[in-house]
Amino acid sequence: MTTPARLERSAQPTLEMVAAEAGVSRATVSRVVNGSTKVNPEIVVAVNAAIELLHYLPNRAARSLANRRTQSVALVVPEDMTRFFGDPYFAAIVQGITRRLDESDYTLNLLVASSDPRHKTMRYLRSGSADGALVISHHTGDDFVAELDTTMPVVFGGRPGDDHDTNAYFIDVDNAAGAETGTQHLLDIGRHRIGSITGPVDMPASIDRLVGFRRTLERAGLATDAVEHADFTAAGAAAATRRLLERCPDIDALFVASDLMATGVLDVLREQGRAVPGDVAIVGFDDSPAATAAAVPLTTVSQPSEEMGFAMADTLLRLLSGDTSVVHRTIMPTYLVARDSA
């Protein structure tokens, strides 16, 4: 075997140099680099030792060309840029995704596809610029998302709409059960006139959380009419809270479908002189940094957002590797975190 000291200092290690160091053919090194399972394990060890010794970096561009792979995945977010950067839920999801991709050769391309550039997004993805896609915060009217699912391997963050392909791969929590947990907590602390500020009516997570809220009140024999819809933003939730309090001034508790929206609810209650939790108790959803940073720390239903992102990326990487054992749906647990608001 040669040693690195005998190489020219300016020379970039090549596949041929690795082959010579390991005492194998160039083709064998190529198979090891590309993850072939048809190489003798002892040879794999020798090749990997040579790679480490020589500090060889595979030519990813050449590998991608040969495999017709870009070694990149797209994160598609059908929202506007303001909401994407303003909601801590997205930051946690992306952190989990990148944590998993850091363990692989794949890089992440972010596509925040608001209503105007969605055709541009599809052109980009159809061009073969990514090997697969991760989709979060999708709406039932996002036809281009359904089309995307027929173009490449796709994993959704959250349950796709009921009209979507039942064979879709997705990572989610049981949003209905989480909402039941949050609403039941409000009942358990003695509240009887409970309302809800929901997310958009065209998003499965919002629909499921509203179902869980209403199911819990129906079991208790209480009215389920105190509901206003918002858009998962603090400003939207504030407007919805004003509408709800005008219509139902006797509200003594609110289940709010996200922590960020709950911060807008708190602002309105403070404006109207209503104490939290004395006059109105609040339970949020997410357990995001918004919950602990709120004027009144929020009792909330915790979901493992970062782990959901990690699982999304892991599922997609397994699909891209040809793993046929990947399950179509992964449902993660939620639980209540009690703080000062309820």
Encode pLDDT of 183-223 as tens digits: 999 999 999 999 999 999 989 999 999 999 999 999 999 99
User: What six digits make up the tokens of 303?
Assistant: 């979901």
Q: What is the pLDDT of residue 277?
A: 97
* Distance separating alpha carbons of residues 130 and 110, to the nearest angstrom: 11
Q: What is the pLDDT of residue 4?
A: 44
For the residues of 69-87, what is the DSSP string, one character each?
--SEEEEEE-S-HHHHHH-
Mean predicted lDDT score pLDDT of the chain:
87
User: What six digits make up the tokens of 49?
Assistant: 């030792």
What dihedral do alpha carbons 182, 194, 231, 88 form, nearest 10°? -30
DSSP assignment letter at 55: T
Beta bridge partners of 77: 112
Domain 72-173+306-333: CATH superfamily, name plus number: Response regulator (3.40.50.2300)
Mean pLDDT of 13-35: 83
* Distance separating alpha carbons of residues 250 and 256, to the nearest angstrom: 17
Mean pLDDT of 300-326: 94
Q: How would you class 269 by CB atoms within 10 Å of its CB: exposed for 0-12, middle for 13-18, buried for 19 or more?
A: buried
Which residue type does 216 have?
A: T
pLDDT band at 11 (very low <50, low <70, confident <90, very high): low
Strands of 132-136's sheet in order across: 107-112, 72-77, 132-136, 154-157, 169-173, 329-332
* Distance separating alpha carbons of residues 328 and 166, to the nearest angstrom: 9
* CATH for the stretch 175-303: 3.40.50.2300
Mean pLDDT of 168-189: 96
User: What six digits make up the tokens of 116?
Assistant: 């105007």
* Between 266 and 113, residue with greater pLDDT: 266
Q: What is the pLDDT of residue 2?
A: 43
Q: At residue 132, does pLDDT exceed 60?
A: yes
* Distance separating alpha carbons of residues 201 and 259, to the nearest angstrom: 18
Residue 290, SS3? helix
Q: Where in the chain is the domain with CATH 3.40.50.2300?
A: 72-173+306-333, 175-303
Q: Where in the chain is the domain with CATH 1.10.260.40?
A: 4-58
Q: What is the pLDDT of residue 291?
A: 95
| Farthest-apart Cα atoms in the chain, separation | 84
pLDDT digits (tens, 9 = 90+) for 237-263: 999 999 999 999 999 999 999 999 999
Q: What is the pLDDT of residue 327?
A: 92
Q: What is the pLDDT of residue 174?
A: 95
* Between 225 and 59, residue with greater pLDDT: 225
Q: At residue 63, does pLDDT exceed 80?
A: no
* CATH for the stretch 4-58: 1.10.260.40
Residue 324, SS3? coil
Highest averaged pLDDT of the listed ranges 5-14, 87-96, 295-304: 295-304
Q: What is the pLDDT of residue 5?
A: 40
Q: What is the pLDDT of residue 281?
A: 98
Q: What is the pLDDT of residue 10?
A: 42
Q: Which residues contact 188 (CB under 8 A, 6 or more apart)?
A: none
CB 220: neighbour CB atoms within 10 A? 12
* Distance separating alpha carbons of residues 335 and 179, to the nearest angstrom: 10
pLDDT digits (tens, 9 = 90+) for 71-83: 889 999 888 788 8
Percent of the chain with pLDDT over 90: 59
Q: What is the pLDDT of residue 30?
A: 78
User: What six digits make up the tokens of 99?
Assistant: 């944590």
| Global pTM exceeds 0.75 | yes
Q: What is the pLDDT of residue 140?
A: 74
Mean pLDDT of 224-240: 96
Q: What is the pLDDT of residue 116?
A: 54
Q: Is the peptide bond before 277 cis (omega within 30 degrees of 0)?
A: yes
Return the half-sphere exposure (C-beta side, CA atoms, 13 A cut-off) of residue 292: 6
Q: What is the pLDDT of residue 68?
A: 62
* Distance separating alpha carbons of residues 137 and 205, to the nearest angstrom: 9
